[in-house]
Structure 1
Amino acid sequence: MAKIVIIGGTGLIGSQVVDRLRAAGEEAVPASPSSGVNTLTGDGVDAVLAGADVVIDVTNSPSFEEQAVLDFFTTSTTTLLEAAARAGVGHYLALSVVGTDRLAESAYFRGKIAQEKLITGSGLPYTIVHATQFFEFVRGIADEATDGDTVRLSDALIRPIAAADVATAVAGVATAAPLNGIREVAGPETFGLDRLVRTALAAAGDPRHVEIDRTARYFGALLGERTLLPGDDPVVGATRFADWQAAR
């Protein structure tokens, strides 16, 4: 039984990763500020990583403001990497986003790029899981792109995924050998971003109108047709968007 520490282990993904690892018989330890572990100040980090075999970082910046997001990912990741090295952790796993390296116009994704560079340059055995956008955040994409009662979005292609399927993939990667590379995870269906949001709003009875605008930015970045798509061999989640909507 491995000791696996999940940093951000009480959030949307982290809590489900904990459940899956425990169901598989692993010692899964959730860590977050509410449990006294703060990766910005360093409080509690060494203590929780003592004896850990694997650390999973599923934290996220509470702010998307340019300097705040960069500071969060650089400070938090540096704290964790240094503590993991001291603890002799054998596998450092972080959750990131498909297309991160293609989205450098976005302040948020520049923060993620900085995080990934720190991990790959740390000398620790690692895996970075790149996931596509979660079903749970589709309404948030609409809110970000709303002007009055119109949602202006690119028709760039996207393969969204259920958070539960991301958690399953992360748990599986955590119990395997480090890749020293990237594992991509995506949903089973491809949508145009505009159609995905239009479908979600219609299902929710939201009266906003979705309009295609290829100059519309996605969290600050201009999208090409395939910017948000994974490569040819991602891990594919089982849940279809319509089934996820129906279950909710």
Structure 2
Amino acid sequence: MKYLVIGGTGLIGSKVVAHLKAKGHDVIAAAPSTGVNTITGEGLDAAMSGVHTVVDVANSPSFAAEDVMQFFTTAGRNIAAAERTAGVKHHVALSIVGTDRKPGNAYFAAKNAQEAIIRESGVPYTLVRATQFLEFTAGIANEAGRGAFIRVSTGGIQPIAAAEVAEAVAEAAMEAPRNAFIEIAGPEAFPMDELVRRYLHAVGDERQVTGDPAAPYFGGIIGWESLLPGPGAHLGKVSFENWLAGQASAHAAA
């Protein structure tokens, strides 16, 4: 079977490509660097030729509110049009747990708009909503500030390893379309401030963390359940503790 992985050279996409190839499938890794641009449409129709399933794990190069909305809606419409022309049978997209709860975050709003385009495209689909990646913990800390003292939300977070996200996306792509979403998450939930505090301590970062329910998470205020999965979510096996040990070792070696 032939697959097209949009964002196929990135953190998640490269792993999805590897999973699908290991199962013996014909896989195209699509990205601007490989001649496929979902914003301009360059190379998109040609890349879709003979493709059974499209997997979209591409991310916006800018998180500015207007930029991220334009990226996901423009790319979403271009992809959907090309899929209809090519007769694609299944569209799989990576999204975020909590997107439909609209927590006042511009990125979540853009992903929500992308999901709507997918649902209305007429192409059978599966949405894989993931919690935040363990690999993004440093980014959460840095968003809170670079000074000696930072305020971090006390909202819940249940991070998952990127490798497990990629595996779940690849598995969804090899199954029949659900025309619905599935949720994936890490094995443990934490207050976000605790997660950041433990990460900074492990890597020797001396910033002091204060938990604050009113501290914004990328522009939005979140509660305990805003980013947590619902009942029936598929849970990964990589614990924060084990991942953190690897981060601390890598930091020490560097």
Normalised TM-score (structure 2): 0.95
Residue identity in the other structure for 1:240: S
Equivalent residue number for residue 20 of structure 2 = 21
Q: Which moved further from structure 2: 142-151 or 212-221? A: 142-151
Q: Which residue type is aligned with residue 116 of structure 2?
A: K
Q: CA deviation at 1:155?
A: 1.4
Instruction: Name structure 2 gaps, 5 residues minimum.
Output: 248-254
SS at match of 1:130: strand
Alignment-derived partner of residue 187 in structure 1:
186
- Aligned mates of 1:104, 1:80 — CA distance in 2: 27
- Note the C-alpha offset of 1:245: 2.4
Q: What percentage of aligned pairs have identical amino acids? A: 51
Equivalent position amino acid for 1:175 in 2? M
- 1:189-244 superposed Cα distances (whole Å, 9 cap, x missing partner): 11111111111111110001110111011111110111010001111111111212
1:86 corresponds to which residue? Answer: 85
Range with greater deviation from structure 2 (157-166 or 145-154):
145-154
Once residues 103 and 149 of structure 1 are traced to their aligned partners in structure 2, the CA distance between those partners, rounded to angstroms, is 31
Task: Using the TM superposition, give the Cα deviation of residue 16 of structure 1 relative to its aligned residue in structure 2, in angstroms.
Answer: 0.4
Q: Deviations over 1:103-146 (max 9, x none)?
A: 35111111111101100111110011000000110010000011
Match of 2:47 in 1: 48
Matched ranges for 1:41-190 at <5 A: 41-146=40-145, 148-190=147-189
Number of aligned residue pairs: 247
Unaligned ranges ≥5, structure 1:
none
Conserved 8 A contact 2:132-2:158: yes
Contact in 1 for aligned 2:8/2:17 (Cα 8 Å): yes
The whole-number CA distance in structure 1 between the counterparts of 2:245 and 2:104 is 35
The alignment partner of 1:12 has SS state of coil
Query: After TM superposition, what 4+ stretches of structure 1 lie above 2 angstroms from structure 2?
Result: 245-248
Corresponding residue number in structure 2 for 1:200: 199
- 1:245: which partner in 2? 244
- CA RMSD between the two structures: 1.0
Query: Within 1, Cα distance between the matches of 2:242 and 2:25?
Result: 30
1:82-123 superposed Cα distances (whole Å, 9 cap, x missing partner): 001111111001101000112351111111111011001111
